[in-house]
Amino acid sequence: MNWGTLPDVALACLAAGYAIAAALASRRAPAQAAIPCAAPEDAGLHPVSVLKPLCGAAPQLYENLAGLCRQRHPAFQLVFGVHAADDPAIAVVERLRAEFPACDIALVTDSRVHGSNLKVSNLINLLPQARHPWLLIADSDIAAPPDYLARVTAPLADAAVGVVTCLYRGRAAGGLLSRVGAQFIDDWFAPSVRIAHGCGSRRFSFGATIALRREVLDAIGGFAPLANRLADDFWLGELTRRSGLRTVLSDVVVSTDVTETRLPALWAHELRWLRTIRSINPLGFAFTFITFTWPVLALAARLSPQPLVLAVALAGIVARSMLAGSAAAALRAPLRDALLLVEWAAALFGEKVRWREQVMSVRDRPAAAAAPRPEFANPHSGPVPQQGTGAQAVTGFAAGMMARPLSLQADGADNDERDRSPALSANGMISQRPL
């Protein structure tokens, strides 16, 4: 072998090796064993308050929220929040109340804002209406199975657990670009999480689902420290980890809607995700190009078309096709990977992201940088995790992909009252229907 071609061989081996690891990690993902419906005294299920910030009525909003009303859980509350009294999501919530009268549903309407992240303002506003000591926060575009609440919250019974989070799969709205967008999640993001998780990393939490105990949230200062954070879901988990508590990746995999059917919308959405990831782990993000299998292997083969490189590239392409899961998805994989490479290059630069009509900086405000001191001691916790774990060193590029931003535009406001009964204030309205 010509020593001058060694970098090309190394590039091909890294890209193919990652593709093989991603395919294996995805195939070994834990099966979702169903949990039968049971009363709290029989199954140890604790009452749960579900916080759902809303903004607008997406096409699948009713179906996604109705799935929560059908949960096989004996005691749960749904708390929805909107920014404006004319938000179309209110009509969806009222429809839920009419069709699921037995569900405990609260609706909070409040326009007050507490920082650059409007979704966090909404959560601050919702929190006082949460009646139960266990909380679950989830994006509005998430579809979940009927045993979702029972299975996701079960690890919270362990006092050493800080947050429980879920991976998610893309659910395309239809058309080529929405399917390509779903592969951003299924073929790129989720495998990277599984690889890092398999190597021991727990530095993640995803807006698709975050469950935690109220006492844990109170100990890190509530949602207020996240008010100026772009990647608020990541930092919610990170602050609990700095308190010495563990993060658990649930075996539940939920679905998220991918509705972009035009390239500019898909580009803006994925660029926002990538720049947010870069803001969390710049070094890991710089090596992310290794995960874009098709263009990287094509480049290596073009630079050094020798048998060894071609054989390695072929192995990587086979693994990448297996990761895609279907023949149609495998045929889209070159487009998917090429688009990711271009987006990654664009995400290396720029400090702004756009979500709907809001423009946010990837640089968090300094005032939100300090983590509050924990107010409780966890006797089961080990050493507090440090920046840059061993798993991040092992996976490198994969470790940069550990936080999916929550929907950054869902609106809301603050209410510092601890009273969780229905109330009406000058700045906000709360409408609650008890069981």
DSSP H or E stretch at residue 394: helix 390-395
- Going from the C-alpha of 205 to that of each of 127, 192, 233, 425, the distances in angstroms are 19, 14, 6, 34
Angle (deg, nearest 10), helices 89-99 and 61-69:
40
Q: Is 53 helix (H, G, I), strand (E, B) or coil?
A: strand
**pLDDT for 10-20, tens place per residue?**
999 999 999 99
Kindly state the average pLDDT of the residues 162-173: 95
Mean pLDDT of the chain: 82
Kindly state the average pLDDT of the residues 172-182: 95
Amino acid 369: pLDDT: 40
The alpha carbon of residue 230 and the mean position of all alpha carbons in its chain are separated, in whole angstroms, by 13
What are the structure tokens assigned to 148, written together? 């979702």
Residue 226 has pLDDT above 80, yes or no: yes
**Cβ atoms within 10 A of the Cβ of 17, count?**
15
Kindly state the average pLDDT of the residues 285-305: 95
CA distance linking residue 214 with residue 306, whole number of Å: 59
Question: What is the DSSP-derived secondary structure letter of residue 246?
Answer: E
The model's pTM:
0.80
Amino acid 352: pLDDT: 82
Q: Residue 423: which pLDDT band, with cuts at 50, 70 and 90?
A: very low
Q: Are the beta carbons of 151 and 250 closer than 8 angstroms?
A: yes
Burial (CB < 10 A; 0-12, 13-18, 19+), residue 28, is exposed
Mark 94-108 as b/e (b = at least 16 C-beta within 10 Å): eebeeebeebbbbbb
CA distance linking residue 431 with residue 93, whole number of Å: 11
Nearest Cα neighbor of 240 from 374, 370, 48 is 374
Kindly state the average pLDDT of the residues 143-147: 95
CA distance linking residue 310 with residue 298, whole number of Å: 9
DSSP H or E stretch at residue 285: helix 282-286
Burial (CB < 10 A; 0-12, 13-18, 19+), residue 353, is buried
Amino acid 431: pLDDT: 46
Nearest Cα neighbor of 135 from 223, 57, 224 is 223
CA distance linking residue 262 with residue 278, whole number of Å: 24
Amino acid making up residue 283: L
Residue 428 has pLDDT above 70, yes or no: no
